[in-house]
Amino acid sequence: MEDKTKTTTKPKTTDTTQKLKRPLSAYFLYSKDVRKSVVEANPTLKNTEIMKIIGEKWKGLSDQEKKKYNDLHDVAKKEYEKLKKEREM
């Protein structure tokens, strides 16, 4: 008897049908920047402990230091809003 099972693959979605991802917050942009150095300095820590360290470092930043990440977030948010409006048309 022949095996009638077929393997099918789902068609890949195109960019126009993919759901837009919201822009990362200023904190998550900062986290992406410093995570590698925190992990290298503390290789035995669990992920939750690493995130606590990153959170403490974020809280210790001055407003001027946070401005870089807030500005990056603002740019990403404007681009997100622009793409969102284009898709609604």
pLDDT, tens only, 38-70: 999 999 999 999 999 999 999 999 999 999 999
Number of folded domains that form the chain: 1
Using alpha carbons, list the distances in angstroms from residue 25 to 6, 22, 60, 77, 80: 44, 9, 17, 9, 12
Q: Around Cβ 66, how many Cβ atoms within 10 Å?
A: 15
The pLDDT confidence band at residue 11, using thresholds 50, 70 and 90, is: low
21, part of any domain: no
Single pTM value for the model: 0.74
Domain that holds residue 41: 26-88
65, part of any domain: yes
Share of the chain above pLDDT 70, in %: 81
The pLDDT confidence band at residue 71, using thresholds 50, 70 and 90, is: very high
Residues 6+ apart with CB under 8 A from 46: none
86 phi and psi angles, rounded to 5 deg: -60, -40
pLDDT attached to residue 88: 85
